[in-house]
Structure 1
Amino acid sequence: MPGSDSSNVNCVCGLPAPYDDCCGRFHRGDANAPTAERLMRSRFSAFGVQDEAYLLRTWHPSTRPPRIDFDPALRWQRLEILATTGGRLLDTEGTVRFRAHYVRRKRPGALEENSRFVLHDGAWLYVTALA
């Protein structure tokens, strides 16, 4: 992660691996996330390191915003995956329900969402949050 020795820092996505070997390889473009859950984890991590290019690249063209406005007072802390449907190696769509923990101006909080993902041109993409 920027400003640290990311080779030894565990990834904020929640998997027990250093950032460089975990989500960092997706952010760098060395590999594509193999499942919707891994894409969700890598996108959470991308919000944490403010990797706008990765977030836009992994957002479906039909719902992609023109840019990401990061809140400088917000720090993403950890991610909990609550449930998944589909989104595996042989699927073409899936959902990931998650809880993302953050701190904003020294106050903890959490965002819970059920996100929809699709396989598009061989890569998993985020489409939208489901109601």
Structure 2
Amino acid sequence: MSIDPKTPCPCGRSCSYVDCCGRLHAGATADDAEALMRSRYSAYVLGNAEYLMTTWHPSTRPESLDVDEPGLKWLGLDVKPHWNDGPDRAGVEFVARYRVGGGKAGRLHERSRFVREDGRWFYLDAEG
């Protein structure tokens, strides 16, 4: 995947993609659950299914993932409160905005749960 080094990161942080989520997409380890969640949002924006599958915990990972829905455009990410449930479990609440085709914009509001194993964070699932 080729992207201009000056392109703002899709996750919404005020830095370039290569200095933010691009590092994680290239193999760096996320420092915390929020960083992993932001990098996964950026992976959805960029259609990087391989990264999404790699960072999904094996116990809940689907067999396949289609990130190429025709006309889907991610519009932005709003990170809400996040929390730790001990040193190796955490959660992040967020709202991701999207539009399909020329239709009305939608919102995905989720409370994601994450687990750290062997020093790496993984997406586990969404609460309730």
TM, length-normalised to structure 2:
0.92
Moved over 6 A (4+): none
Question: Kindly, what percent of the aligned residue pairs are identical?
Answer: 44
> Which range is displaced more, 67-76 or 49-58?
67-76
TM, length-normalised to structure 1:
0.90
1:77 offset after TM fit, Å? 1.8
Match of 1:83 among 76, 81, 84: 81
Match of 1:53 among 29, 50, 54: 50
1:40 offset after TM fit, Å? 0.3
Corresponding residue SS for 1:17: coil
Query: Counterparts of 1:20 and 1:27 in 2: how far apart (Å)?
Result: 9
Corresponding residue SS for 1:34: coil
Q: Which runs of 5+ in 2 are unaligned?
A: none
1:124 equivalent in alignment to 2:121: yes
Corresponding residue SS for 2:42: helix
1:109 offset after TM fit, Å? 1.3
2:37 match: 40
1:93 offset after TM fit, Å? 0.4
Query: Counterparts of 1:41 and 1:112 in 2: how far apart (Å)?
Result: 14
2:23 match: 25
> Which range is displaced more, 53-62 or 74-83?
74-83
CA RMSD of aligned residues (A): 1.5
Query: Counterparts of 2:51 and 2:70 in 1: how far apart (Å)?
Result: 18
2:88 match: 92
Query: Counterparts of 1:26 and 1:60 in 2: how far apart (Å)?
Result: 16
Q: Which runs of 5+ in 1 are unaligned?
A: none
1:72 offset after TM fit, Å? 2.4
1:113 match: 110
